[in-house]
Amino acid sequence: MKTFNVLFLCTGNSARSIMAEAMCSIESKGRMIGFSAGTKPYGSVNPYAVGEITRLGYPVDELRSKSWSEFATPDAPRMDFIITVCDEAAGEPCPVWPGKPVSAHWSFPNPVHIQGDDEARRWVFKQIAIGLSRRIQLMSSLPLEVLDRTALQYEIEHVAGD
C-alpha cells in the first residue's frame, strides 16, 4: 500500500497545522505521513496545541514551527496533498510544489486569537482537534490509490461535508 505525504499549511504554523501534522500518521494508521509549515511561522508551537496533542496521545517530540519554504526545495519530501487549514494561508500565493500535489482548503478558526481563560482556550483547541481528526480519518478512508486527480481534488476538499 502506498504511503501519502500530506502537508498542512497555516500562517503561523503554531496550532492548527501542527495538530494536523501530529494526528495525520496516527489517525491514518500509517497510510499518510503528516507535515506542517507556515507562510509566516511564529517560530514556536502554541502551548495549548501541545497540550491538546499530548492529551490525545500524539507524539510532540519533533514538532516545530517552520516555513513552507522547507518543503519547496528539491530535496524536500515530495507531497501528494497540500491542505490549508486557515483562510489567510489559503488566500496567499503558494510556491510551485514539486509533483503538483492535490490541494484543498479546510477552514478552521485561528485558536491563537481566542480571548478568555484557560478553560475557554482549551475548549477551542479541543474542538479544532476534533474537527481535524474527523477530516483526517475520512480522508484516510478514501480509496486514494484509485481515484483520479479530479476525484481526489473533490473528495479531499469536501471530506467533511463542507
Q: Is 24 a catalytic residue?
A: no
Pull the grid cell for residue 64.
516545530
pLDDT exceeds cutoff 70 at 161:
no
Smallest CA-to-CA distance from 103 within 150, 71, 38 is with 150
Predicted local confidence at residue 121, as pLDDT: 93
Predicted local confidence at residue 86, as pLDDT: 84
Q: Is 86 a catalytic residue?
A: yes
Predicted local confidence at residue 49, as pLDDT: 95
Active-site annotation holder among 94, 138, 142, 147: 94
Q: How far apart, in whole angstroms, are the C-alpha atoms of residue 112 and residue 51?
A: 13
Q: Which domains does the chain have, with CATH numbers?
A: 4-157 (3.40.50.2300)
Active-site annotation holder among 9, 85, 86, 152: 86
- Using the structure block, give the residue that is written with the C-alpha cell 492535490: 102
CB-based contacts of 141: which residues, under 8 Å, 6+ apart?
Answer: none
Active-site annotation holder among 6, 7, 9, 10: 10
Tell me the pLDDT tens digit for each residue of 42-58.
999 999 999 999 988 88
pLDDT exceeds cutoff 80 at 1:
no
Q: Is 94 a catalytic residue?
A: yes
Cα 150 from chain centroid?
Answer: 21
pLDDT exceeds cutoff 80 at 90:
no
